[in-house]
Amino acid sequence: MLENKTILITGGTGSFGNTFVPLTLAKYNPKKIIIFSRDEMKQWDMAKKFQGDKRVRFFIGDVRDRDRLYRALDGVDYVVHAAATKIVPTAEYNPFECVKTNVNGAMNLIDACIDKKVKGVVALSTDKASSPINLYGATKLTSDKLFVAGNAYSGEHGSKFSVVRYGNVMGSRGSVIPFFMSIRDKGILPITDDRMTRFMISLEEGVELVWHAFEDMVGGEIYVKKIPSMKVTDLARVVAPECSQEVVGIRPGEKLHEQMIGAEDSYYTFEYPDHFKILPTINDWGTSLERIKDGKKVPEGFIYSSDNNTEWMSDADLQAWIDDHRDKIGSI
């Protein structure tokens, strides 16, 4: 469905964008992919990778700037919303800035997409948006709600909005694997709590979930990828077996275990072979057979968290991923 279409990705110079763009160019041959972001140097660096490919365009702008979004969305068919203030401590200490990007930016994008008659929008979410305890998670939960409700706002304009939610993206900028690798020469890795667990997903799997959402969405669904968990102590041991581990305590706004589906969501959550789908509670969308399709209702009270997961990443699987991505870790 993306073939010969124009796609815009907000925050497109980030880790996700650097993976989404080449994979999408190869699989779908879109007419154009527009990278919309505010950092000119990141755009300059990214442009070198696609030099000579006229399908890749760059557009300086900020999702906080409503007028700039309207200009950028001229002729755009599909949007991937990846722009966010996402580092938990940064959001805790700069709450106004986090809200401006994650909440106000989402509202600006929804309005602009509806008015410009964009066909479909997939917004990237996070496990921290489920039962949030930090500001980043709270703003992303708000953003999720905004994109779901955007389907009611679009009315006859026909724009569809959905959300994809996943956990720790392995190798993404600011995530734990490149962080541990960058300080391994010190001989000590800081562990916030030796009981801590996290969901693990590759950037490639994240891209595939976005593709699936575009193909499957009716509007208002939250797609949750089935992915393995891993203890942070095991992750540290695989990344730097020569290092000792020092427990330093949980940072502001940090959870011991992450959650992607809460018990309150279970009433409207359906299971599929590779993912779950949380349907909207507004209107009658949660019982829409068009949205449910061949899904199986999860049990009442079902919780999908990193500590009760039935799938766990082995040391060998993580090591294999590191070996395959060693050259890219920290450079995207």
For the entire predicted model, the pTM comes to: 0.94
Query: Dihedral sign, CA of 48, 51, 57, 59?
Result: positive
Q: Using alpha carbons only, how large is the chain's radius of gyration in Å?
A: 19
Do 213 and 122 contact (CB within 8 A), yes or no?
yes
Percent of the chain past pLDDT 90, that is, above it, reads: 83
Beta strands, E only, 110-176: 120-124, 160-165, 168-169
List, for residues 216-275, the tens digit of each pLDDT value: 999 999 999 999 999 999 999 999 999 999 999 988 888 999 999 999 999 999 999 999
The predicted-structure confidence for 129-187, as pLDDT tens digits, reads as follows: 999 999 999 999 999 999 999 999 987 778 999 999 988 888 887 788 989 989 999 99
Which helix (H) or strand (E) element contains residue 234?
helix 232-239
pLDDT score, position 258: 94
Q: Kindly indicate the confidence band of residue 329, based on its pLDDT and cuts at 50, 70 and 90.
A: low
d(CA 258, CA 197): 7
Give 79-91 pLDDT, tens digit per residue.
Answer: 999 999 998 889 9
Pairing of strands 229-231, 197-201: antiparallel
Spatial separation of the C-alpha atoms in residues 146 and 60, rounded to whole Å:
24
pLDDT given at position 331: 43
Domains in the chain, ordered, with CATH? 6-169+200-227+259-305 (3.40.50.720)
Q: Are strands 188-191 and 222-225 parallel, antiparallel or unpaired?
A: unpaired
As a whole number, the mean pLDDT across the chain is: 94
pLDDT, tens only, 3-16: 999 999 999 999 99
Give the other-Cβ count within 10 Å of 18's Cβ. Answer: 21
- Number of Cβ within 10 Å of residue 287's Cβ equals 10
Catalytic residues: 128
Report whether pLDDT(72) > 90.
Answer: yes
